[in-house]
Structure 1
Amino acid sequence: MHKQVLYAILTILLVFIGAMLVFIRLVGDTASPVNQKIRIVTTITAYQQAAQQIVGDTGKVTLLPTDVQEWGAKDKEQLKKADIILVDHQDDQDTLIAQYRNWQLQSKIIAANQIITDNDFDNLWVSPLTTKALSDKLTTTLSDIDPRNRDTYVSNDNQLNTKLSVLNTQLATLAKKNKNLNYISLSDDWDILFSQLNAQRVLKKVSHQSSSTLLDEAKDYIDDDKVDFVVMPNQQNNTTKQLVKLANSHKIPIITISYPKNQSEDILNWQQQNLNKIQNMINNLKK
């Protein structure tokens, strides 16, 4: 009789212990994704900085080299393990997208050209409007992946948008004041920014034309008084130097826009500085 009672007690204990082990295993499996930091990768400093502000301590945003030839084993591993990939364009020309498809990854992709819908624009990150749209989309995606920290992501996004609203208000004010402005640029990089300022670029597809053809067309526009200002990069070549000479001879304002000096430079400050340059230049225009 005593043996039967003992066996019954042992059986109950074993069942209880087994149930506890199963419960611990299940809790461990469900808790680990939440406790693990969300991994985000991009090749664009502006997106890296914005994403890190939003994800905070719950994630890590890695900035990879734009040239895949510069990737080391650690860089490749970062992309393979990424939960989210931030890109300008969702096509095979993008370094991350090409590798994403080659390796058949399952990461979520947020592409700026799907938010700002004109696919002809390059270097979307130069516009604060793009940064806001991307950060809002990222916040939604993070909240879906990690709903426990939704409030944190939304709060961080709101703080970022407070900074961006200053730039976007400045952009909107300039756009209302200045319409039908024409400019010349030998680079596609600033198209989206100036289009949001209601400024139209008179020379298109410059990469497909020779220097002499570009200068001849520029001269025609300038002689016909169809150019309000010229946009220059901070590093010049023979073609841009000749364009500067041509613009100076007709007393056409020239604005020089530089790229960020390094990856640690605050992109919002960089955008603000360049927007201030553009505002000062436009305010001084005499139509």
Structure 2
Amino acid sequence: MDVQEIAKTLENVRQANPLVHNITNVVVTNFTANGLLALGASPVMAYAKEEVADMAKIAGALVLNIGTLNETEVEAMLMAGKSANEHGVPVIFDPVGAGATRYRTETAKKIVREVNVSVIRGNAAEIANVIGENWMIKGVDAGEGNGDVVVLAKKAAQQLHTIVAITGKDDVVTDGETTYVIRNGHPLLTKVTGTGCLLTSVIGAFAAVESNLLVAAASALVSYGVAAEIAAKKAGEAGPGSFQIAFLNELARVGEEDIRQYSLIEQVK
């Protein structure tokens, strides 16, 4: 995958202005909407069981995020996911906190069992717990695991029959056969609530315009990480608040020259 392909996919997002239907958590709704708007996508947050199926079928992508899950919302997610499947709409799933409680873990497993998920994005602990592997988790944050993240990602992709993106200090994205490691991003992303959740929705925006979902996910990870690095250079010394604003600005500005200069993506075996 080369710089031009990544930049072209980013540009396609901005030209298409895809509708991204988010059923996400209450903590990140505003930041997710602003981030998608900055990128060039069109966010909608629709949660009611009475409308989620209708909204999902007209969206470019559906994003399911279990950050603040409850029984009613889970039911809505399943309805939306099945509608998206029926209408060829990619489904992006973020199993926030899977492994922290039995309810979260069982809900994540239920969603991947009942919905054809196109891309699943989480930290190593979340992805591990979705497929029944042991990996320490603290709340919704990954703990220190002693496993190989590349091996974990490939195993999850093969088991779940989907694209898997495991994000952390380095990001790994794979379809189970072709695997990329992406070393873009900045530690300040961990100091702003919702940056992981927004990333999942950004992957949704890319998946809405690129049928090769591995290309879509990898392009999203690189573009997002590069924007974060530039934002950190411009405003990072002032702290996470200033970084958050700068990051939204860079999501709107990041382009081919930035990706050419900063992108660190490598295909691995």
State whether TM-score is above 0.5.
no
TM-score between the two structures when normalised by the length of structure 1: 0.32
The structure that has the greater radius of gyration is 1
TM-score between the two structures when normalised by the length of structure 2: 0.33
* Higher-RCO chain (CA-CA 8 Å, sequence separation at least 6): 2
